[in-house]
Structure 1
């Protein structure tokens, strides 16, 4: 599989398009959870204007009164075309897809298909907190297979966890985060092939959350789990939500490998009633016509990764930050600062910067914080200045 390089878009960096005054007019979670004196760099919303094709699609729907129930397969078709061009993957068969309300609700529905009450679901901690929350709420049992020190899947640990998860019979699943949130790690074809082999050996079904797939930068290549040898029995959830900042326009696509088509066919019809028709129109437009905007965003995010690394090296050298190759999230190891298990709380209380606490990410999260890079260079610079001042104010070491 050869990598298809991103095209040069010529569009301006959307991360530098909006000022704080305009952003604070937003009524979403990112901008309403904390007081106005706090810089919000926590939840996965981006400080960007929407891509013009998305605005046009939604505006035309409003003008037409096209706000009824969703129909057709245009979203899946646009995703398949995007996958073919972007990842050189032509195995996304529209007939093996279904529309679901969003990725995490889609994950829940897929886990219902392949596991039963009380069954274990393996996750690679530290990982996106809803992996823990949604799995437990579903009545399944979380089994952690922590990442290695290099922030990659530790195949020996994963094998041992699979073995223990299936030792007493019953069903088990592996909820794969690909690319990984919060580290930004992009799993290689070799790693995913090894995962698929282990899953087949132990009878573990793989459900892949691939929502961050379009957000891979540089020469790194995203590899869909369903594309690797042994991935035929896998299930995947994909969406334009993260890459085009469409969390408020609910829609995602569940994709089955050839060996999982019968599983997907058992999904209740009413699940497909949950997505927003307008959301589907927006996501379809993003995938079909919004790639120039995406490329400009990726260039901006790449610049922000370098900026953050430089700012931390200058102002907070004790913080360990390994820039990931995907997502717009930065995983900060703050343990050497002496701020305790929840440095995000210190940065909020003493620096008025809101990051996401590492604790809910599971094993490996203590002493860490997740920072949202999808902001302007000015905001990132001010945030690190405030964080460094907070360390100095508390008298912590290592600043």
Structure 2
């Protein structure tokens, strides 16, 4: 069980989602705020509308003041992650000696797939799932094979076993790319489910690579279970990062973690991969994990408030939209199929309502008719977005 986490002091418990005005946000030059015209409310790509946590900002300022902007070195990031995992998840199994830094989670996944699979080999995913899984896997010459989630948004183990069996009949080395917590549904896989994944992996000889980037972003009452912490997962590989929880996508850095039986695989990763992360990024991510806990707690409380807010707004203004609040991530997966719209709902809400959401179609089988909404913004913007979405149907 997770260890007790001290409550943040009143001085640090301000909801960071309430600190920036729309005018301030529109001064940003990142993808979220520059892709669409200014009359569009952007609630799409996974950037949060928050200022940096002060411990992170201070670490960056100190590095810049020192001119400490060279190549990354050392294991401080992995050590901070191991301590965070022990404190937050009750997991003492993250061995620093079985880690390496990588540029980011998706490029880390690419490197892991290079180690344990070959060109043309199948990579199994649970659709609907994060679109870059399809893009990156396809670009490196592997075959994406879907094992769709069940209607409840959870892993369908009958489908997964059947898919593992088909993948194993070929001559290649199949891999299961597990999204945990799941993006876009916000599903938190249980310890029993993950142990069942590990058992199937052993039975069918399918290696598991887990994308656990959203692990720190849990709804109230939810507990993240690291895949490498369940029985039978010793030959698995995981990618973790502070990126999503502290809004550090522009400060590239992630950690690849190997189970004890995969240490030899990770040891074969080329040295130059470790030169790819940003040194300032490593510093920022380390500071987030070490000193950003109170800020994270305040964010998680704000996200819980936003989940409740969105559920109420949809019930009032868009009752035909089906929505199960996610148990992790800051993303909401909205079923718009009952609206009977002409084409992609995201396109309709953008054109008629001036709200930018992610279309469900790129998420693969099961995504058509859905949209993904980013909850990591001010409550007022969520309220305005739902109002515009409802008006778009008039």
TM-score normalized by the length of structure 2: 0.98
C-alpha distance in structure 2 between counterparts of 1:170 and 1:377, whole Å: 49
Matched with 2:393 is 391
- Supply the distance in 1 between the matched residues of 2:388 and 2:23 (Cα, whole angstroms): 19
Query: Hey, what does 2:135 align to over in structure 1?
Result: 133
**Structure 2 counterparts to residues 229-378 of structure 1, below 5 A:** 229-378=231-380
1:159 maps to 161
Mapping of residues 85-104 of structure 1, within 5 Å: 85-104=87-106
Provide the secondary structure at the position in 2 that maps to 1:98: strand
- Residues 327-353 of structure 1, C-alpha deviations (whole Å, 9 max, x = no match): 000000000001145100000000000
CA drift at 1:159: 0.2
> How much has 1:316 moved relative to structure 2?
0.2
Distance apart, 1:57 and its partner CA: 0.1
Secondary structure of the residue that 1:339 maps to in structure 2? Answer: coil
1:4 Cα deviation after fit: 3.1
For residues 6 and 386 of structure 1, do their structure 2 counterparts lie closer, same or farther at Cα, with a shift above 3 Å needed? farther
Aligned to 1:120: 122
Instruction: Indicate the residue corresponding to 1:108 in structure 2.
Output: 110
Check conservation: 2:2, 2:86, Cα contact below 8 A.
no
Q: Where does the alignment leave 5 or more consecutive residues of structure 1 unmatched?
A: 393-399
| CA distance in 2: counterparts of 1:41 and 1:14, whole angstroms | 17
Relative to structure 1, the CA distance from residue 344 to residue 5 in structure 2 (aligned partners, 3 Å threshold; closer, same or farther) is farther
Residues 84, 290 of structure 2: 8 Å contact kept = yes
User: What SS is found at the alignment partner of 2:393?
Assistant: helix
Question: Separation in 2 of the partners of 1:321 and 1:264?
Answer: 40
1:38 aligned to which of 20, 37, 40: 40
Partner of 1:16: 18
**2:216 match: secondary structure:** coil
Q: Quote the Cα distance in structure 2 between the aligned partners of 1:3 and 1:60.
A: 32
1 CA distance for matches of 2:244 and 2:170? 38
Q: Give the whole-Å Cα distance in 2 for the aligned partners of 1:341 and 1:104.
A: 30
Q: Following TM superposition, by how much is the alpha carbon of 1:120 offset from its aligned partner in structure 2, in angstroms?
A: 0.2
How big is each residue's C-alpha offset from its partner over 1:97-126, in whole Å with a ceiling of 9 and x where there is no partner? 000000000000001111100000000000
Alpha-carbon distance in structure 2 between the residues aligned to 1:256 and 1:276: 22
**Contact 1:356–1:369 (CA under 8 A) maintained in structure 2:** yes
Query: Contact conserved, 1:78 with 1:284, CA < 8 A, in 2?
Result: yes
Tell me if the contact between 2:120 and 2:172 (Cα under 8 Å) persists in the aligned partners. Answer: no
SS in 2 for 1:232: coil
Asked if 1:218 is matched to 2:220, the reply is yes
- 1:7 deviates by 3.7
Following the alignment from structure 1 to structure 2, what is the Cα–Cα distance between the partners of residues 74 and 59? 18
Distance 1:211 1:114 in 2: 21
What is residue 71 of structure 2 aligned with on the other side?
A: 69
Q: Deviations over 1:118-164 (max 9, x none)?
A: 00000000000000110000100000000000000001100000000
- Which of 49, 52, 73 does residue 50 from structure 1 map onto? 52
Displacement of 1:262 in angstroms is 0.3
Alpha-carbon distance in structure 1 between the residues aligned to 2:221 and 2:85? 16
How far apart are residue 217 of structure 1 and its match? 1.7
Q: C-alpha separation between the residues in 1 aligned to 2:345 and 2:148?
A: 21
Contact in 2 for aligned 1:329/1:373 (Cα 8 Å): yes
| Cα distance in 1 between the residues matched to 2:112 and 2:352 | 42
Q: Cα RMSD between the aligned structures?
A: 0.7
Structure 2: gaps of 5 or more residues: none
Deviation at 1:220, TM superposition (A): 1.1
- 8 A contact 1:41–1:353 mirrored in 2: yes
Contact 1:193/1:228, CA 8 A, preserved across alignment: yes
How far off is 1:6 after superposition?
Answer: 4.4
Match of 1:204 among 201, 206, 213: 206
Q: Distance in 1 between matches of 2:31 and 2:348?
A: 21
Q: How many residues align?
A: 391
Do the aligned partners of 1:340 and 1:367 also contact (CA within 8 Å) in 2?
Answer: no
